[in-house]
Amino acid sequence: MKCPYCEEPRTRVLETNHDKRGGTRRRRQCRNCGERFSSYELPVLATPLLIKKDNTREEFRRDKLLAGLRVACAKRPISAAAIENIAGEIEAELQQMGSAEVKSRIVGDLAIKKLKELDEVAYIRYAIVYLGLQDLDSIQEEIERLLNE
Ligand SMILES: [Zn+2]
């Protein structure tokens, strides 16, 4: 933590307080100029990288997930807030897995489970488009797999 007055990296911690949000506030004093200032630290939850079918990795993109959810929910009685909520829940669940990498399939599975509770049409649409299901048999198989989980 650099001093905001003189950019000295050495500071002395005078006081440390933890708050309910998981943050830590520290009262510091610069070892060079003697000025006092506060710093605030919040934990950053990392979203794991997604491992795709071809074994390449890509970053989780909330906007991409949202776009897919919106297409699946088009013209259904589902509010924009409900869709945003699903994307937020999925991102939080990925973060809570605590892994550096997860299979990208997990994102689709989570989306499908959440859509299923919300709207059956949106759920089937998502399964068809985003899992790349092209024929009735594989769609049926997918639905059965999901129902059995
Ligand atoms: Zn200083």
- pLDDT tens-digit map of 32-66: 999 999 998 877 778 999 999 899 999 999 999 99
Q: Tell me how far the alpha carbon of residue 13 lies from the centroid of ligand 1, in angstroms.
A: 13
Q: Are residues 19 and 55 in the same domain?
A: no
Q: Tell me the residue range of the domain where 89 lies.
A: 49-148
Residues 10-30: what's their mean pLDDT? 91
Q: Does the reported pTM lie above 0.75?
A: no
Are residues 25 and 64 part of one domain?
A: no
Give yes or no for a contact between 26 and 13, defined as CB atoms under 8 angstroms apart. yes
Q: Provide the percentage of residues in the chain whose pLDDT is more than 90.
A: 60
Rounded to 10 deg, the angle between the 120-130 and 62-73 helix axes is 120
pLDDT higher than 80, residue 22: no
Q: What's the gap in Å between 10 CA and the centre of ligand 1?
A: 9
Give me ligand 1 centre to Cα 142, in Å.
Answer: 62
Residue 15 alpha carbon to ligand 1 centre in Å: 17
As residues whose CB is below 5 A from the ion ligand 1, the structure lists 3, 5-6, 8, 30, 32-33
Same domain, 134 and 72: yes
Tell me the C-alpha distance between 20 and 112, whole Å. Answer: 33
Predicted pLDDT of residue 86: 95
Q: Same structural domain for residues 100 and 135?
A: yes
